[in-house]
Chain A
Amino acid sequence: MTTLEVRNLSKTFHKLRAVDNVSFTLTPGRTVALVGESGSGKSTVARMIARLVRPTSGEILLTSSDGEPVPRKAYRDHVQMIFQDPFASLNPFHTVEHHLVRPLRLHGRSRAEVPHLLERVSLPPDFAHRRPHELSGGQRQRVAIARALAPGAKVIIADEPVSMLDVSIRLGVLKLLARLQREENLAVLYITHDLATARHFSDEVLVMHRGRIVEHGPSDEVLTRPEAPYTRQLAAAAPDPDARFRQGGQP
């Protein structure tokens, strides 16, 4: 199983310290949530791990199940990313099949696996011939998840995977991710600004503010009993009808 360790990762854009000395470890079978507002640097962390952005300093270490470091060339066999906007992350020109066959081929697998991949994300096999505009947002995001699984990745970076979806289908996509994570023993980094889903779908939480990790720990503890002032502010700001209608009442 693959473990990804991030050590003292920093990124500076034109003197702005977007990510400042961030360290954490992703281990198989566990989901780590990275929580913060826009501009906090969480997407930059994702893009550095996906090797789309070069870190200014710090290390990203990938260790395979036999304890050996993964060679640079094989990095993308192990680490894949799910993007935020399913309407932008699929090429409108190509079929679903194209989106899955390319990563399969590039990582030495056969195109015969396409139906199986679709099945794993609960899509019927005939979706392979559809093009993105024929799919709904949730179905697109499932295709994007299948694409991330195609190279046989064991570490998945999910950058706000449901924030662009309709609320009634968000839960379905998150449950799918949780199921895949359990079944395939994936290491998942779940990036979100939504504290509630962070708590429900992750084992550990990192709270990021202005490029730094201000609080981290088991998700239940951090999010129900926040210590850092910033985390408290975040928790208090989320809309909470309970507070309005059941003040002082029973839970």
Chain B
Amino acid sequence: MTNLSPLTEVAPEVPRSRNRWRGLLPRWSPKLGTGLGLAGAIVLFGLIGPLVTGDPATIRDFGLTPPGGEHLLGTTVTGQDILAQLAHATRGSLQIGLLVGIMATVLSGVFGIVGAYAGGVVDEIFSLFSNVMLVIPGLPLVIVIAGFVPPDQRGTGTISLVLAITGWAAAARVLRAQTLSLRNRDYVAAARVSGEKTWRVICVEILPNLLPILASQFVFAVVLAILSEAGLSFLGLGAANSSTLGTMLYYAQNGFALQRDAWWWFVPPGLIIALFGGALALINFSIDEIINPKLRDRARRARDVVAVETDTAAAEQDAVLTVKNLNVVYQADTPVHAVKDVSLTLRRGEILGLAGESGCGKTTLAYAINRLHRPPAEVTSGSVTFHDRDGEDVDVLALAPEELRAFRWVKLSMVFQGAMNALNPVTPIRAQLQDVLRTHRPGMPASDREKRCAEVLRLVGVDPARLGSFPHELSGGMRQRVMIAMALLLDPQVMIMDEPTTALDVLVQREILNEIKRLRDELSFAVVFITHDLPLLLELSDRIAVMRDGEVVEYADAEEMYLRPQHPYTRELLASFPGLNDDRGALIR
């Protein structure tokens, strides 16, 4: 039996990590460093402080001494050492925070994850219960419950329990939403098909993917608990037999610290609460970055791009768009050269096919032509020149923001990948089409707008009566036609279509392709058609550029490419599509 040829495909280059947990750890950042440092210092103070500061309850005869000397932070009205009190109170608050954090996380996990995974009646009951708990205002309930418990039984445990019971519901909602999404993932289905038991599916397949969220919810619960406890204690409803930062504030209030200008009594506990809350919030930011990697590039996004030397290219006869030696680089930790020295010419009324596989840079190229690329993508060199119908040449990369707004969609429009899902689900088609006109043709009378919208719909073969329809009332093919209509609204000279038919069925794809050809003939705009489907391009386009690893490896007329493909990669691509009518068996053995 012949073995398979070695894989030609290249795996993504990722630094190898043996440690499965590493991916879950937040990336190091100043935010995280500050947060961990502060929180660590406060925890250490709470742990070690009480051992070295002596008894906080010792009463001395010199009340309200300002900081300094023997008592670093001064004394209370009864002469107790504030530093010692602060150390014990910090420990007490941390204990409550930790206890509540654990209990609230467990509660939210049970109600959120188990309910969502089980589904049906269990989910209904669990989520009803969470919702009820969510709408009960927390602090008043805590006050009521705490008020009911006699003061002598109001220990740390009781207070923690009360805080946990009132504090888990919001987290359960978040976990439920995430679990609902995870349970429909194929890997969960695959685990079920291989015969895994339900509890294992939850614990082994789902739970690890929820860890960042659980961690974030835990941190949040801790902060909330410390703050609520401080509030309760301040009202005199806190734990009776323990000292926390809240009880310290309570005694400071009762001892008229403010009125007597004894700031050293109430500022330190307040400061510790604020700092600890701030520190945990900073840690939570970093955890959020794991859940939502998009946040990581925030810092980089601020920078604008466009630092290009421009040499407006001498236009080929009849050209409408000339791309010359364009380079786009993703300025990541290791820069990725996504588009390398690409030169293309789009003639008036031409359909130019851009073929390539995922990651070859074809979408990046399309975005750069339209200046839609966002940092970290950066055009490092090259030019994009648009040759207007009236003879004027526009250097697209040099346009100022306002000029760019006037250029995009008017001269050059785009149909995005998966565009049919880009329609706003809550507004009718009419509003979305008219929005474009309202933005770009502010002076247009309403009746003309309506007329133009109906006209473009008719152009793409959709009944103008559908103007009042909502996107969900249209089929996928119809929504895609509406997107094309939207791109046609301002009568552009160039339309870039990024995989416009990939999500559609073959029959619908056929209709849309016929539509594009017909519209091109009627309205004579030029099209850049991007797809991974080379046979489709061979049938549709006039010229084709094949891209691989950011480079155009072959650029030729469709017929030439079909009959005499030059580059080995083009041949490989052509060979990977068996034709319906090819000899059977040639491929298999």
Contacts and interface: CB of A to CB of B under 8 A. Distances in A.
Interface of A: 37-38, 47, 50-52, 76, 80-81, 83-85, 88-95, 102-103, 106-107, 122, 129-131, 133-139, 144, 147, 150-151, 166-172, 175-176, 178-179, 183, 193, 195-197, 199-201, 219-220, 223-224, 233-245
Nearest to A73: B195
Contact of B539 (A103, A197, A241): A241
Interface in B544-589: 558-559, 562-563, 572-573, 575-582, 584-585, 587-588
A93 B505 CA distance: 33
A168 B195 contact: no
A244 B588 CA distance: 27
B587 A200 contact: yes
Nearest to B211: A93
A196 B187 CA distance: 29
A201 B586 CA distance: 11
Given A89-B186, A131-B17, A201-B588, 5 more contacts: A52-B189, A81-B190, A88-B187, A94-B204, A130-B16
Given A102-B194, A139-B9, A167-B576, A175 B507 contact: no
Contacts, number: 196
Contacts of A238: 506, 580
A183 B1 contact: yes
Given A168-B9, A193-B506, A241-B562, A133 B578 contact: no
A102 B509 CA distance: 41
Given A122-B3, A147-B190, A167-B533, A237 B510 contact: yes
B578 A172 contact: no
Given A90-B187, A224-B581, A37 B506 contact: yes
A103 B5 CA distance: 28
Contacts of A139: 7, 9, 11
Nearest to A224: B581
B480 to A, nearest CB: 14
Interface string B499-517: 0000001110110010000
A179 B4 contact: yes
B450 interface: no
Contacts of A122: 3-4, 7
A197 B582 CA distance: 11
Contact of B584 (A144, A220, A241): A220
B507 A166 contact: no
Contacts of A84: 186
B580 A199 contact: yes
Contacts of B9: 136-139, 166, 168-169, 172
Contacts of B588: 175, 178, 200-201
A239 B584 CA distance: 18
B7 A172 contact: yes
Interface string B265-301: 0000000000000000000000000000000000000
Given A38-B505, A93-B20, A196 B195 contact: no
Interface string B201-213: 0001100110000
B451 interface: no
Interface in B13-47: 14, 16-18, 20, 23
A93 B395 CA distance: 47
A196 B577 CA distance: 8
Of B1, B7, B532, B558, most A-chain CB atoms within 10 Å: B7
10 contacts: A83-B190, A107-B194, A138-B7, A139-B11, A169-B576, A170-B576, A193-B505, A199-B580, A239-B539, A241-B535
A224 to B, nearest CB: 7
A130 to B, nearest CB: 8
Contact of B195 (A95, A107, A135, A195): A107
B507 A237 contact: yes
A93 B189 contact: no
B192 interface: yes
B158 to A, nearest CB: 38
Given A106-B194, A150-B194, A166-B532, A135 B580 contact: no
Main secondary structure of the interface of A (DSSP, over half): helix
Nearest to A129: B18
Interface in B402-435: none
Interface residue tally on B, bucketed by range: 35 or more
Given A178-B588, A240-B535, A51 B14 contact: no
B191 interface: yes
A134 B16 contact: yes
Nearest to A169: B9
A196 B209 contact: no
B190 A245 contact: no
B7 A169 contact: yes
Contacts of B366: none
B242 interface: no
B456 interface: no
A107 B18 CA distance: 27
A66 B274 CA distance: 74
A94 B194 contact: no
Contacts of B192: 52
B363 to A, nearest CB: 14
A200 B578 CA distance: 8
Contacts of A197: 578
Contact of B12 (A92, A133, A196, A223): A133
Contact of A242 (B1, B209, B536, B581): B581
Contacts of A83: 186, 189-190
Nearest to A151: B194
A37 to B, nearest CB: 4
A37 B190 contact: no
B305 to A, nearest CB: 28
A37 B505 contact: yes
Nearest to A132: B187
A131 B194 contact: no
Nearest to A201: B588
A166 B534 CA distance: 12
Contacts of A178: 588
Contacts of A151: 194-195
B7 A242 contact: no
A131 B540 CA distance: 40
Contact of A239 (B1, B18, B505, B533): B533
B580 A195 contact: yes
B210 to A, nearest CB: 10
B538 interface: yes
Q: For A89, A239, A243, A245, which residue has the most chain B Cβ atoms within 10 angstroms?
A: A239
B186 A85 contact: yes
